[in-house]
Structure 1
C-alpha cells in the first residue's frame, strides 16, 4: 500500500509509515496521510510508456498518480514490431497446415525429413526406379509412393514459403510506416496462411496425411 503525505508532499510505503510509529487508533486522514491510487491506465506498451508526472487529487476526491503516456521512439517501435512479425511467422510456419482436409505437421524436423524423402523420390523417378517409403505418423506407419511424397513435400514447402512471404510484406510495411500511430495500426496477427489446428479432423485422411 502506498500513501500520500499531503502535509510534507511525499509518498510513503507501509514500512516508512510504521517507522513513524503512528498509533493505530489515529485517523491517518487527520494527519494528512491518504491512500494513493497507483493503478495504471490501459495502454499499448509497444508504442508507449508511462511516465509518473506526480500526485494529483484532494482529500475529498482522493489522491492518485498522474500518469502520462509518452510515445516510444519510432525506431524502438519498429524494431519491436519486426520482432513480433518474426515470432508470428515462426508460429504459423511450424503450426501445421491443411492439405485436402488433412492436418499436416510442418515443424522443422518434418520439413527436413520430407525434403530428403522428396529428393530421393525425384532421383528414383529420373533413374526409372520405383520408390516407396513407410512414413511414420502419430497413428502408425503409412505407405507412400514417390508421387505421394513429392506432393506432400510441395504442399508443406508452399505453406512455409507463404509464411515467409507474409513476414516480408509486414517488414516492408513496418519499415515504411512514418509514425507510431501508423506502426500500431499494422495487423501483425492477420494475413497468415491457415494453420493446421483444424476444429474437426476429416472423416477419412488421405494415405499420406500426417495428423
Structure 2
C-alpha cells in the first residue's frame, strides 16, 4: 500500500516538522495517509540562529568599508592590517608623506597624522559594529518568547 505524506502548514520562522507522524488508512484510495507533526523550535535554538544572523550582519557591515573625508577606505581584514601597520609608521613621523591607494583605486598622498586619523576612524567603525552586534545579542538573550526574538530588529542601527 502506498503512503501519501503531508505536513500541516506552519510558520517556519518559529516551528519545524517534527520527527513524529500519524498514519491513517485511506482504503478508498488504497493508501495510508501519513501526516507529519509540527513542533515549535526550542527558544534556545531560535535565539542561536537569530544571533548568528546578527553576527553575519556585523561582519558584512564591518568589512564593507567607510567614507572618510570623501575617500572610500576599505575595512576588510587585510586593509585593517595594512592601515594599522602604517599607523605605527605615522606615529614615528606624523609629518612624513605616504603614498596610499584608496579603496577606489586612486592614489593619494597622506601625512602620518592623516594615516593615524584614518586608522582611528576605522577602529571606531569596527568597534561600533561589534557594539551593535553585542546589543543585538543582549536583546535576543533577553527575549522570553519566539515572537520577542523575531521582533528584535537586527537590520537597524548599524554604523
TM-score range, shorter chain: 0.7 to 0.9
Q: 1:116 aligned to 2:85?
A: yes
* Partner SS, residue 190 of structure 1: coil
Q: In the alignment, which of 43, 48, 52 is matched to residue 11 of structure 2?
A: 43
> Which of 134, 153, 168 is residue 134 of structure 2 equivalent to?
168
Change (3 A) 1:43 1:98: farther
Give the structure 2 partner of residue 133 of structure 1.
Answer: 98
C-alpha distance in 2 between matches for 1:169 and 1:192:
11
C-alpha distance 71-121 of structure 1, shift in aligned 2 (>3 A): same
RMSD of aligned residue pairs (Cα, Å):
2.8
Which residue is equivalent to 1:73?
A: 42
Q: Which has the higher contact order (CA 8 A, sep 6+)?
A: 1
Q: How has the CA–CA distance of structure 1 residues 97 and 55 changed in structure 2, closer, same or farther, with 3 Å as cutoff?
A: farther
Q: Is the Cα contact below 8 Å between 2:7 and 2:17 reproduced in 1?
A: no
- Contact preservation (8 Å) 2:7, 2:37: no
Structure 1 or 2: more helix by fraction: 2
What's the TM-score once normalised by structure 2's chain length?
A: 0.78
Q: 1:101 to 1:124 in 2, by over 3 A?
A: closer
Looking at structure 2, the residues matched to 102 and 136 of structure 1 have their Cα atoms a distance apart, in angstroms, of 10
Residue 52 of structure 2: aligned partner:
83
Kindly name which structure, 1 or 2, has the bigger radius of gyration based on alpha carbons.
1
Distance 1:65 1:98 in 2: 58
Alignment-derived partner of residue 23 in structure 1: none
| TM-score, scaled relative to structure 1 | 0.61
**Greater Cα offset, 79-88 or 96-105:** 96-105
- Structure 1 88/50 Cα, relative in aligned 2: closer, same or farther at 3 Å? same
How much does 1:167 deviate? 0.6
Please give the residue correspondences for 1:189-208 in structure 2 after superposition, counting only pairs within 5 Å.
189-193=155-159
Identify unmatched segments of 5+ residues in structure 1: 12-35, 194-211
Q: Distance in 2 between matches of 1:55 and 1:99?
A: 64
Residue 68 of structure 1, CA deviation? 4.7
